[in-house]
Amino acid sequence: MSDNISRKSFLKRAGAIAAVSSVGIPSILLSQSQEKLGVALVGLGNYSTSRLAPGLQQTDHCELRGIVTGSPEKIPEWQEQYNIPDSNVYNYENMHELANNDDIDIVYVVVPTGLHAKYSIIAAEAGKHVWCEKPMAMNVEECQNIIDAVNRNNVSLAIGYRLHHEPNTQKIMQFAREQTYGAVTEVRTAAGYDGYHEDGNWRKNAELGGGALYDMGVYPINAIRYATQMEPIAVNGRQSTVRKEVYPEVDEITDFQLEFANGMICTGETSFGKSMNYLNVNTEDGWYYLKPMSNYSGVQGMTSDGTALPADPGHQQARQMDAEALAIKEGRPPIVPGSQGLNDIRIVNAIMESSRNGRSRIEL
Ligand code: NAD
């Protein structure tokens, strides 16, 4: 859309109309609704470079139009590769000026976890829809501050839990909702990698949100929640570090149990030193699993009646961003709202508290 003012007012009107009715949209709005929303990536690290920017080349409802970076040396290559004009390049100090840029509809925060709240709030205050990477933030208060900022500014917020858009994961959620194999009786799940982080990497830094639990632990936590479609009432957990020389200030390994009101206990594990990736669900009438359960591709599994859950060939992040962009265009709530991120962080913080207190039971 060439006219920025009409573009902005269209997005507001489209949302309002879609909220009232899904039919009878004037043809002028229908043709405009095929416009892609403009996305600005905040933080041009590994995930933005290897997954999000390439994914945004495959999306139908949004496209990469801007960048926010503290690394000037990255700018020429990104501008050239993705055809980004000077007017859509920002740094962390001036990103609030996005408020004056109608090219950008959505700001996607892809910096270390300890900075998610800061930049998500700046984006919301600039009047932009916010996509915030997992884990949402460091604690419940920060998560709530993000939610309050988007509500105050009447913009939407989605958390980057790409698996909620992955077809086999969606089947697991459906099995729980419809009790296809009976009620869920137990979940065992783990996500970790046999890795090493070099000095200076924020994943070793407690203040920036490093450690296995924040970084990888939210996968098994979120998986238990989506595989049961229930919220736990209490947790216990233990955090430890084998390679103290590599991880002097954060956990290398965390294992935990989530307890539910019906007495069910589900277990999860995460690690920076052990490769594991599965979601096993037992039910009254059978079982099913995904293995791997959180990789970028190849998520697949099986059910107890022999139904295969074959890997989907699609680009997960493209699917995620398209679905969330379409929700914005149609004025619908996000598919993965802030409450998803907040509920996981409440559990993360409770596991940390439990570990500090000799694996005591912490009520949520
Ligand atoms: P990364 O280290 O590769 O990139 C981080 C970026 O943040 C870099 O460009 C860095 O320059 C920038 N940055 C800004 N301020 C910084 C500071 N004070 N200290 C350090 N870096 C700073 O990390 P990544 O793997 O791209 O992860 C970024 C975010 O994306 C994290 O929240 C992570 O959890 C999330 N992530 C999500 C997935 C997923 O599957 N959804 C996968 C990978 C990463």
| Mean pLDDT calculated for residue range 155-177 | 98
How far are the Cα atoms of 213, 217, 268 from residue 291, in angstroms, in the given order? 20, 16, 14
- The pTM of this model reads 0.93
- Average per-residue pLDDT in the chain? 93
193 confidence band (pLDDT: 50, 70, 90): very high
Q: What is the pLDDT of residue 34?
A: 67
Q: Which two tokens stand for residue 318?
A: 């493209």
Distance of CA 43 from the midpoint of ligand 1 (Å)? 7
For residue 247, pLDDT beyond 50: yes
Q: What is the pLDDT of residue 59?
A: 98
Q: Which two tokens stand for residue 215?
A: 């970084």
Q: What is the pLDDT of residue 29?
A: 45
110 Cβ below 6 A of ligand 1: yes
pLDDT, tens digit, 9 for 90 and up, residues 294-343: 999 999 999 999 999 999 999 999 999 999 999 999 999 999 999 999 99
Q: What is the pLDDT of residue 5?
A: 38
Considering only CA atoms, which of 129, 118, 119, 108 is closest in space to residue 51?
Answer: 108
Q: Which two tokens stand for residue 247?
A: 């991880």
Q: Strand pairing partners for 278? A: 190
Ligand 1 atom closest to the Cα of residue 215 is 34
State what percent of residues in the chain have pLDDT above 70: 91
Q: What is the pLDDT of residue 19?
A: 37
| Mean pLDDT calculated for residue range 149-175 | 98
Q: What is the pLDDT of residue 33?
A: 57
203 Cβ below 6 A of ligand 1: no
Residue whose Cα lies nearest atom 42 of ligand 1: it is 47
Distance CA 352, CA 136 (A): 16
Contact (CB, 8 A) for 183 and 284: yes
For residue 149, pLDDT beyond 70: yes
111 Cβ below 6 A of ligand 1: yes
Considering only CA atoms, which of 109, 11, 104, 119 is closest in space to residue 66?
Answer: 104
From 73, 118, 133, mutation site for ligand 1 pocket: most ligand atoms within 8 A of C-beta: 133
Distance CA 129, CA 61 (A): 14
Beta strands 273-283 and 184-194, pairing class: antiparallel
Ligand 1 atom closest to the Cα of residue 47 is 26
Q: Strand pairing partners for 265? A: 259
Contact (CB, 8 A) for 257 and 269: no
Distance CA 131, CA 324 (A): 9
Q: What is the pLDDT of residue 131?
A: 99
| Mean pLDDT calculated for residue range 215-237 | 98
For residue 7, pLDDT beyond 70: no
* Exposure letters 94-106 (e unless 16+ CB within 10 A, then b): ebeebeebbbbbb
State the sign of the Cα–Cα–Cα–Cα dihedral 328, 295, 355, 133: negative
For residue 146, pLDDT beyond 90: yes
Contact (CB, 8 A) for 241 and 253: yes
44 Cβ below 6 A of ligand 1: yes
Distance of CA 331 from the midpoint of ligand 1 (Å)? 29
199 confidence band (pLDDT: 50, 70, 90): very high
Distance CA 239, CA 351 (A): 8
118 confidence band (pLDDT: 50, 70, 90): very high
Q: What is the pLDDT of residue 16?
A: 38
pLDDT, tens digit, 9 for 90 and up, residues 261-298: 999 999 999 999 999 999 999 999 999 999 999 999 99
Burial status of residue 42 (CB atoms within 10 A of its CB: 0-12, 13-18, 19 or more): buried
Considering only CA atoms, which of 166, 145, 147 is closest in space to residue 157?
Answer: 147
222 confidence band (pLDDT: 50, 70, 90): very high
Lowest mean pLDDT among 5-14, 147-156, 192-201, 241-250: 5-14
What stretch of H or E contains 212?
Answer: helix 212-212
Ligand 1 atom closest to the Cα of residue 44 is 9
Distance of CA 46 from the midpoint of ligand 1 (Å)? 7
For residue 9, pLDDT beyond 50: no
Count of Cβ atoms closer than 10 Å to residue 307 Cβ = 12
For residue 10, pLDDT beyond 80: no
| Mean pLDDT calculated for residue range 56-83 | 98
Considering only CA atoms, which of 45, 49, 78, 42 is closest in space to residue 200?
Answer: 45
DSSP string, 57-124: TS-SSEEEEEEE-S-GGGHHHHHHHHT--GGGEE-TTTGGGGGG-TT--EEEE-S-GGGHHHHHHHHH
Beta strands in 229-316 (DSSP E): 234-240, 253-259, 265-271, 273-283, 286-290, 301-303, 308-309
Q: At what angle do helices 338-356 and 218-228 cross, to 10 degrees?
A: 120
How far are the Cα atoms of 135, 183, 205, 349, 359 from residue 342, in angstroms, in the given order? 9, 26, 21, 11, 22
Distance of CA 215 from the midpoint of ligand 1 (Å)? 10
